[in-house]
Amino acid sequence: MDNVAITGLGVISSIGQEIEAFNRNLAQGKVVAGPVRWEDEGHENIWMSLIEGFDPLKWTEERVVRNSATFSQYALAAAVQAVVDAGIESFDPFRTAVVVGSALGGVDTNAEDQCRLDCDGPEAVDSKFMVKSLINMPAAHIALRWSLHGPLLSIATACASSHDAMGIAARMIESGEVDVAITGGTDCAISPLLFFGARNNKMFTPQPDPYKTCRPFNIERFGVMLGEGAGMFVLERADRARKRGATIHGRLRGYATLADGYHPSSPEPEGKWEQRVMELALASASLPGGADDVDAVVAHGTGTPAGDIAELAALNRIYGERSTPMRVMSPKGNFGHPHGPAGALGLLVGLYSMRENALMPTAGTYDERELMPEVAKLHAVIKQPAEGRIAALQVNAFGFGGQNSSLVVTAE
């Protein structure tokens, strides 16, 4: 891909509900980890990274809030930010796509209405249940906001959902099908179903220090910290963006997605399919020097025992023999694992790092002696940003079901 520009950025996250706050807190290594909100024995010292003080009325109307679930509100708020950032005042309704990824859909709405059904009977179920909970509703609300009539797609590929949404949107632009796309991912984790299901699946381990809840690349990593949020982008034809004088945050140059075909919830241990998807994304980008042109990697890096091992094996085979070790980070120590928008938030981290020519640090690990031996040939960035030019970066997103996706982004 050669003609896809990123011109608008928007974010709702636990570490910032607009892009500059998000960036500032990343650079400072901020970690948001709070207590679980549900009363039950057996989850002392387990932490979540939840969004506090979100007011959807800053970005939309009361009637939209009444008829939408939180994951749609996150997406719409981030999309409004991205459109403002792009400086687009009106869209061609037939030449604009909306493509949004979500892993969980309206899981919070599902839990609430199941409780109403069980406790108070059928008449207590919200009449707007389907309108709120369906996984296509974030994209639908975005299309409604700007009266759009182009392609309207919702992508559900677990934690790779936002990457796949962005990749599909970029291909639409590259093919000439549309000129502009509003795209990204969103999920809300405020659900006891999600928490207790993850706890019972042993996805996390009690940890007395909330700031060490998620520790990507650490020898004592305990598992995920549940997070939430939305990352949204405006993509458009690069020649169109230049013509109207838009700020181009980067160019989406490569995208690939494939199936692990190994296990419903665990990666293939040697990371061979994660390696393959990264290689395909690099081939799609057609960088003159291939992998040698990449300056940094934003890893999926969930802080799980199996997940980090597999991804680092893949990274080592692609980047491990460099004379200058490849800079690698994961942002999930800062804001947890947000599920569907994981790739989108990772891309935001990468774009800020590119702007600053310094890869942001991985939170949760604060001593080089705690790093896994598998990062010995890589530069796992911790404690402070790692300075150095970033002209091209790779961002990974891997999900349950063996959903592997990777993007390659370059500076303008």
The CATH number linked to 77 is 3.40.47.10
- 276 burial via Cβ count (<10 Å: 0-12, 13-18, 19+): middle
The per-residue pLDDT for range 189-199, each reduced to its tens digit, is: 888 888 888 88
pTM recorded for the entire structure: 0.95
Residue with tokens 């549900």: 38
List per-residue pLDDT tens for the chain, 412 residues long: 999 999 999 999 999 999 999 999 999 999 999 988 776 555 678 899 999 999 999 999 999 999 999 999 999 999 999 999 999 999 999 999 999 999 999 888 887 867 888 888 898 788 888 888 899 999 999 999 999 999 999 999 999 999 999 999 999 999 999 999 999 999 998 888 888 888 888 888 788 888 888 999 999 998 899 999 999 999 999 999 999 999 999 999 999 999 999 999 889 999 999 999 999 999 999 999 999 999 999 999 999 999 999 999 999 999 999 999 999 999 999 999 999 999 999 999 999 999 999 999 999 999 999 999 999 999 999 999 999 999 999 999 999 999 999 999 999 8
Number of domains in the chain: 1
What torsion, rounded to 10 degrees, do the Cα atoms 58, 61, 62, 64 define?
-120
The per-residue pLDDT for range 204-255, each reduced to its tens digit, is: 878 888 888 899 999 999 889 999 999 999 999 999 999 999 999 999 999 9
Task: Classify each residue of 360-392 as buried b or exposed e, where b means 16 or more C-beta atoms within 10 Å of its C-beta.
Answer: bbbbbbeeeebbbebbeebbbbbeebbeeebeb
Domain that holds residue 346: 4-410
d(CA 94, CA 304): 43
- 21 burial via Cβ count (<10 Å: 0-12, 13-18, 19+): middle
Residue 202: other Cβ atoms inside 10 A: 8
